[in-house]
Amino acid sequence: MRVRLLIMILVLSVSTTLVYANDQDLPVQAHPATDFYEGWQLALQLWTFHKYTFYEAIDKAASLGVSWIEAFPGQTLSQDNPDVKFGHDMPTEYREKVLSDLAARGLRLVNYGVVGLPNDEAACRKVFEFAKAMDIKTIASEPPDEAWDMIDRLCQEYKINVAIHNHPQPSHYWNPDKVLEVSAGRSKYIGACADVGHWMRSGVKPLEALKKLEGRIISFHFGDLNKFGEKEAHDVPWGSGVADVDAILKEIHRQKFNGVFSIEYEYNWETNIPEVRQSISYYNQAVAKLKNTSWKNLLTADLAHCIYNKDSWEMTDGVLTAKGGGDIWTKERYGDFILDLEFKLDKETNSGIFLRTGSIEEWLHSAIEVQVLDSYGKEEISKHDCGAIFDCLEPAKNAVKMAGEWNRCTITCKANKIYVVLNGQQIIDMDLNLWTEAHKNPDGTENKFNTAYKDMPREGHIGFQYHGHPIWFRNIKIKTL
């Protein structure tokens, strides 16, 4: 009986551990989506960067801190593959690499369009098969009227949406009444890809259109324009134009919308990143007033809530840069949290990210450090390489990119567990309770810390280290647990 009871306890213990390790609320194996409004997916329609290759465009999307992208067919894949175009005609080997490279950046391909869906089942099925393979949820299109019965059937078969996009008049779907006509009586997979900017170019008031389409809005191509009712109107940073972005967001909030906002910024094509970043900042502040946000920026642009030697760090265009003169710390203390950020190294850079620092003055013996180091290409991995819990636990893989490239890093702290995901790969799964002695690791090696890691503070300041080498951080976001 005792043996049976012991087995049951062990099984329950293992089961609990597995559930905990795979808890969907803990991004222990992949980078999380960091949307400020839970349920609204802020995406980047890559047409915003259509003058660049697909890979250049997704790097720009990653630099803006979005988690989702909407791709369009026909964009040159990369400078290395100028003859390959992104889309449903792309060979399988390129599709698999795209998905892998998106995951490393923490990006997800969620929408695809605007793409043609003709009255030809074989041609349409090819697009749906591509969407299924790439885990795309919504296809944006402007199909002919006679194709809808077949398209709706495919939507239900594949469980993939088709969102009707509205180019400006005289295009077929410029008027929301036409979208309603086509959607009537059809499945939940048919609805609107509401292009707010094109509505305004067509003289359609966005608020009126949104109220009319309530219950049939699947996704957005979102923008703010400098003028209403003119085809030549161009995009401006959100909140500075005539769209009344606040009113639109409030209306969609009232409708309990759940879906994708694709930023489509069609102006200043080669220099629009600052304006897109400004739009994202406006959006994040606006939605925070509508709903309690799960994610927030760890630092403000003026670093007002930080402890550091003045002029030793600066935040410019969303990038935190070390200028020398010591580390930088949050005034606020954090216990259980998910910290998501990007960092870029120079050659031989040595830096670190400090977690739960009990005392800034005694940081060495009261903080847990995730090592940030230029260890690219190193074969033998140590407790001092990039992603390690410094001097205590080596990373499972050497996942850091070469100097000069941005790295995506997610650190999850919950009770005695610490996880690190670097460039889409889980490299740390640490149980602090296994470090029971000062100056000693569970594998018998020594560490420099006067405090056993099981006794380290479970809440404290977050810090970024200046160790005499160039280091850059950006898109630093946190979610408290």
Which domains are seen in the chain, by residue range? 39-292 (3.20.20.150), 306-480 (2.60.120.560)
SS3 267: coil
Rounded Cα distance between 39 and 411, Å, is: 22
Angle at 78 between CA 77 and CA 81, to 5 degrees: 90
Q: Give the max Cα distance, the chain.
A: 82
What whole-number distance in Å separates Cα of residue 311 and Cα of residue 280?
A: 27
Query: What backbone torsions phi and psi does residue 300 show, to the nearest 5 degrees?
Result: -90, 160
Is 442 within 8 Å of 432 (Cβ atoms)? no
Using CA atoms, how far apart are residues 223 and 107, in angstroms rounded to an integer? 21
Count of residues making up the chain: 481
Beta bridge partners of 372: 351
Distance CA 104, CA 172 (A): 39
Joined tokens for residue 65: 């801190």
- Whole-Å CA distances, 411 to 132, 227, 318, 428, 475: 31, 44, 20, 9, 14
From residue 24, how far is each of 21, 105, 361, 476 by CA, in Å? 9, 19, 36, 21
Cα–Cα nearest to 307, from 369, 258, 359: 359
**Cα 55 from Cα 401, distance rounded (Å):** 16
Question: What's the 3-state SS for 284-322?
Answer: HHHHHCCCCCCEEECCCCCCCCEEECCCCEEEECCEEEE
φ, ψ of residue 262 to 5 degrees: the values are -95, 120
SS3 label, residue 282 = helix
CA-closest candidate to residue 340, choices 473, 227, 163: 473
Q: Which residues contact 49 (CB under 8 A, 6 or more apart)?
A: 56, 57, 60, 61, 269
Taking the chain (481 residues) in runs of 10, the rounded mean pLDDT of each run is 38 33 70 95 98 98 97 97 96 95 96 98 98 98 98 98 97 98 97 98 98 98 97 97 98 97 97 97 96 94 95 95 95 98 97 98 96 96 97 97 97 97 97 98 96 97 96 98 95
Residue 475 host element (H or E): strand 471-480
- pLDDT, position 325: 87
Cα gap 27→4, rounded to integer Å: 35
